[in-house]
Structure 1
Amino acid sequence: MKNQRVPRSSQPSMHINQTDESLFIHNRMKVIAFSYIVIALSVGALSSCSSSEQADTNRKKTGNSKQATKPSYRIATVSQQRVGQTIQLPGEFRPYQEVSIYPKADGFVDKVLVDRGSAVRKGQVLMVLDAPEVEERLVAARSNTLKAEALLVASREHYRRLKASSKIPGSVSALDLETAYARMKADSASVLGEQANYRALARLKSYLTVRAPFDGFITERNVHPGALVGSGAKMDRPMLVLQQQNRLRLVADIPEAYSVGMREGETIAFTVSAIPGKEFKGKISRRSGSMNQQFRSETVEIDVDNTSRRLRPGMFAEIMLSAEGTPGALAVPNTAVITSTERQYVIKVQDGRAQYVEVKQGQKSGDMTEVFGNLRPDDKIIVNAREDIREGVAVL
């Protein structure tokens, strides 16, 4: 029993079972690999089909876009007309008259009869200065004048009597007569000098009473009673500032391109930002007649009635200037002008082809602009001009 062996016939049977199992696994793996290959080929075929369809679609789109971007030109005719333009320019109101009142004589301020905002009339007393030494000098000048006049009366009478006596031969010498005449002339000159001195001191005294030179309003007051005023006081500011405000000057700088067509007496409309919704009018009264070298503009003054005093000196205004355009100028649509870094030009249609024509722009109004160049009325130009339109290309 101990040496009992397994029968040999049972071992081949086990080997056959193991071999069948290996073959089964091997065949299974081949089937799986084949399935993967089939799936990969199917996906590749589908991808190639979709790619070809996408390429066909792209070709169709490209062909359609090329047909859509075929250039089209809009043609217009050059016209001869004035291109009017309305522009807005800034302006500033200034008083029609303005004066800074300084003292004409040295003295102390005695009375100040007006203040800031006071309305005054021409000749009205504004201030009174006190200078006692002026009064004393005036009295002395009056006394000297009376003394000189008395001496003149005496010398004139003395000469008259000597001249009457000289008719009797030998009674009066010729030398005495000439001396008396010279004395009379000297006294006459002395009287004239003393009278002139008296008048000067009287005028100086009148300067102590400060009067308004014209109707207006006091806009500044810088002194009070007791202050020392005069040229010797080295005043940095005036005693009073007087402005005429019932009439104003609207000052504006007009560019040279528009100043040529302006006329004196022309009515100008303007608005003031501080008074919205209100339009004012004035007339061009004065022009400088020369161009500002820095801004290339001409200074123009417009007189504005301001009886109601709604406007104030120093306010800013917006002037609405209507330019009539340049006589004889040619006009084209704004889009017809091409501006590059080197030049300005329009594209003219000559014998069905594009031709560049250099121009200079003038005034603009709406969608039209003035041009100056080698153009004539009724010439054909491209309205929708672009820089990529080459010269000589067929247009029509």
Structure 2
Amino acid sequence: MKRFTYILAGLALTFAACSNEEKVTDKAAAMPMPMMMQSFETISLLKTNPKVSLKLAGELLADQETELYAKVNSYVQQIKVDIGSKVTAGQVLVVLEAPEIQAQLATAKSKLKAQEAIYIATKSNYDRMFDADKTEGAIAKDALDQITARKLADEAQVAAAKSVYNELKAMTNYLVIRAPFSGTVTDRNVDLGAYVGPMGKAADLPLLVVQNNQKLRLSLSVPEANTPYLNIGDTIRFKVKSIPQKMYMARISRKSGALDEKLRSEKIEADLMNVNQELKPLMVAETMIPLQARAASFFIPKTALVDANLGVYVIRIENGKTKNIPVAKGRMMPDKLEIFGELMDGDQILLKATEEIEEGTSIKK
């Protein structure tokens, strides 16, 4: 019995000791740990003004291109050129035939001749009466007024007939299609005897397409962020896939001055002379555009920028603690990027910044 009593007493002491150890452990866990200063690598800010290369895909376009259509309903009588033909400004390309217009022109010419004959007779009669009127009382005033009115009416009839004749004659000029500028015929959609016209199925396709390929335009859509760095006169270097071993140059000649509604980019055009005819319109150009600002700015490693839900910022060290500084992004380089914000030369920022680093964290020097 005594032995059993000793065993119960020993168990009670053991449970009491365990309970005390648990209390001590819980109390120790509840006590705050002293804050540990973390060590991070920092960099010093310094303004620079490097040339940043922007890679963009562009398109080569002919300096001049026009589609030639028939202005009147007619038939193709002659085709003097074909695809690939070199033409000069004013050269006859296509001759059309319109019998109805020719007949109308002949009729209008006959009417004009008839009206001119009537007017000549009337004017002669008017001149004789006007001379006779110089003798007082020889010609009645009423007769002179009538011949004057008739002369004016016949003169108006001649002018009207001449207007109709000139209109039809101008339409016959439409039957001869000439090259509007020097260039190359790049497309042909008609054959001899084809019916053509300004409306309907006959006008679905142009008769010919003429391009001036001696001079080309390089067309580019530059993103909004990069538009301030491009100016008229700047040089753009580019390559094309068909001639990858050769580098070409074009000079910026035009800027649209407005952004595209969908792409939010500005259209620019650079001109170049296609001396050897190596380049062709609609080729894709791989461009390298140097972007350089007028003033120096801050460029930082990409690892120093935080782009998170809280915003875009860098982490500056102030009095041994971190502070988030909002910034805006500018030009991009392979390993660096341009930033703008309330920063100064000599500011220390974290080289490897993340959104997990809370603002106010102590940093070892």
TM range (shorter): 0.7 to 0.9
CA distance in 2, matches of 1:373, 1:141: 79
Give, as a single letter, the amino acid of the residue that structure 2 aligns with 1:76.
Answer: I
> Structure 1 or 2: larger helix share?
1
In terms of mean alpha carbon deviation, does 231-240 or 285-294 score higher?
231-240
Unaligned 5+ residue runs, structure 1?
1-68
CA distance in 2, matches of 1:322, 1:342: 33
Give the structure-2-normalised TM-score. 0.85
Give, as a single letter, the amino acid of the residue that structure 2 aligns with 1:251.
Answer: S
Give, as a single letter, the amino acid of the residue that structure 2 aligns with 1:85.
Answer: V
Match of 1:237 among 194, 197, 205: 205
Whether 1:220 and 2:178 are equivalent positions in the alignment is no
CA distance in 2, matches of 1:365, 1:227: 59
Q: Residues 109, 233 of structure 1: CA spacing in aligned structure 2 closer, same or farther, 3 A cutoff?
A: farther
CA distance in 1, matches of 2:224, 2:129: 80
**2:62 corresponding residue in structure 1:** 95
Match of 1:140 among 93, 104, 107: 107
Give, as a single letter, the amino acid of the residue that structure 1 aligns with 2:166.
Answer: R
Unaligned 5+ residue runs, structure 2?
1-35
CA distance in 1, matches of 2:182, 2:314: 60
Match of 1:270 among 216, 238, 252: 238
Conserved 8 A contact 1:333-1:367? yes
Give the structure-1-normalised TM-score. 0.78
CA distance in 1, matches of 2:305, 2:50: 15
Q: Residues 370, 193 of structure 1: CA spacing in aligned structure 2 closer, same or farther, 3 A cutoff?
A: same
CA distance in 2, matches of 1:148, 1:78: 92
Deviation at 1:258, TM superposition (A): 1.2
Match of 1:84 among 35, 51, 54: 51
**2:94 corresponding residue in structure 1:** 127
Whether 1:186 and 2:153 are equivalent positions in the alignment is yes
Match of 2:72 among 100, 105, 109: 105
**1:384 corresponding residue in structure 2:** 352
Whether 1:300 and 2:268 are equivalent positions in the alignment is yes
Conserved 8 A contact 1:85-1:325? no
Give, as a single letter, the amino acid of the residue that structure 2 aligns with 1:286.
Answer: R
CA distance in 1, matches of 2:37, 2:252: 55
Deviation at 1:233, TM superposition (A): 4.9
Deviation at 1:108, TM superposition (A): 1.2
Conserved 8 A contact 1:83-1:369? no
CA distance in 2, matches of 1:278, 1:145: 65
Query: What is the aligned length?
Result: 328
Deviation at 1:290, TM superposition (A): 0.6
**1:16 corresponding residue in structure 2:** none
Whether 1:259 and 2:227 are equivalent positions in the alignment is yes
CA-to-aligned-CA distance 1:148-186 (integer Å, 9 cap, x gap) = 222222222222221222222322111111111111111
CA distance in 2, matches of 1:211, 1:157: 45
CA distance in 2, matches of 1:207, 1:392: 82
Q: Residues 192, 326 of structure 1: CA spacing in aligned structure 2 closer, same or farther, 3 A cutoff?
A: same
**2:16 corresponding residue in structure 1:** none
Conserved 8 A contact 2:118-2:154? yes
In terms of mean alpha carbon deviation, does 196-205 or 244-253 score higher?
196-205
**1:346 corresponding residue in structure 2:** 314
How large is the RMSD of aligned CA atoms in angstroms?
A: 1.9
**1:307 counterpart SS class:** coil
CA distance in 1, matches of 2:115, 2:298: 84
**2:126 counterpart SS class:** helix
